[in-house]
């Protein structure tokens, strides 16, 4: 395919107009970006870094140059993928939670343990390996973890009593998040069914209740 960034016929419909020769319009560029990210999520989960930018581009019917105009490398693309994944995961986790703060935290924590086909675990494993050698990835990974923890801590803080200090709340939130993420990792690496994952979560959750009521 040339550098005009048109979709191949199998994706349906005529190509959208571009702003100038070889350059997509802003609307088309956004569509290309979304297509590439969705394809990259699947590709990284299935093949890790063995996948090439060219393969990702071909899978959505755009040129390799179209991808490189937005992402300079596979790692840059993967970091963007993880930002999108986190936003999507957080949105799904918080949908229709119970009004009661304790029940909301328990349901949120349970959802965080549910198998997701390996998107979180495989992507994070790849990025952690890259972070050992790449300073930019290391800084990004630290920022990602901080945002994820802040998201979870809000729900933990809502459950704790007013007498508990901010430092205590942060400690409880970190311990609970470690427990939840531990269940998620075990569910993935041991290929647990949803029922097995739910059982493991309830056992860990019940054991952690003194942290919330202490």
pLDDT in tens, 169-212: 899 999 999 999 999 888 888 888 889 999 999 999 999 999 88
Q: What is the pLDDT of residue 118?
A: 65
- Return the pLDDT at 7: 37
For residue 4, is pLDDT > 80? no
Whole-angstrom distance, CA of residue 116 vs CA of residue 81: 15
Q: Taking 60 as the threshold, does the pLDDT of residue 155 lie above it?
A: yes
CA pair distance 137, 75, nearest whole angstrom: 8
**Of residues 85 and 65, more confidently modeled:** 65
Top CATH class of 74-213 equals mainly alpha
Q: Over 90: is that where the pLDDT of 86 sits?
A: no
DSSP class of residue 159 equals T
- Report pLDDT digits (tens) over 95-130: 999 999 999 999 999 998 887 666 677 777 777 888
Spell out the residues 6+ positions from residue 96 whose beta carbon is closer than 8 angstroms to its own.
none
Helix segments in the chain, DSSP class H: 26-47, 53-60, 64-68, 74-93, 101-113, 119-131, 135-157, 166-189, 194-213
pLDDT at residue 157 is higher than 80: yes
DSSP at 18: E
Arithmetic mean of pLDDT over the chain: 81
Q: Answer with the residue of higher pLDDT: 204 or 28.
A: 204
Query: What is the dotted CATH code of the domain comprising 9-68?
Result: 1.10.10
Kindly report, as residue ranges, where domains of CATH 1.10.357 are found in the chain: 74-213
Please give the Cα distance from 57 to 62 (Å, whole number): 5
For the chain, the first-to-last Cα distance in angstroms comes to: 63
CA distance 181 to 186: 9
Confidence of residue 164 (pLDDT cuts 50, 70, 90): confident
Domain with CATH 1.10.10 in the chain: 9-68
pLDDT over 70, % of the chain: 85
Residue 194 CB coordination number (10 Å): 11
């Amino acid at each position: 395919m040339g550098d005009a960034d048109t979709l191949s016929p199998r994706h349906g419909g005529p190509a959208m107009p571009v702003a100038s020769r070889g350059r997509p319009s802003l609307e088309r560029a956004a569509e290309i970006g979304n297509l590439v990210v969705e394809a990259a999520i699947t590709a990284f989960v299935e093949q890790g870094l063995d996948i090439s930018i060219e393969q990702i581009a071909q899978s959505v019917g755009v040129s390799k140059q179209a991808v490189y105009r937005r992402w300079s490398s596979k790692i840059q693309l993967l970091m963007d993928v993880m930002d999108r994944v986190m936003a999507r995961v957080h949105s799904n986790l918080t949908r229709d939670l119970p009004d009661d703060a304790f029940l909301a935290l328990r349901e949120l924590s349970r959802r965080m343990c549910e198998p997701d086909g390996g998107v979180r675990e495989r992507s994070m494993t790849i990025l952690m390996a890259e972070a050992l050698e790449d300073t930019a990835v290391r800084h990004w990974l630290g920022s990602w973890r901080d945002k994820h923890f802040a998201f979870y801590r809000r729900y933990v803080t809502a459950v704790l009593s007013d007498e508990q200090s901010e430092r205590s709340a942060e400690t409880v939130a970190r311990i609970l998040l470690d427990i939840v993420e531990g269940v998620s990792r075990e569910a993935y690496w041991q290929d647990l069914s949803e029922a097995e994952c739910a059982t493991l979560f309830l056992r860990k959750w019940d054991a952690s209740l003194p942290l919330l009521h202490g």
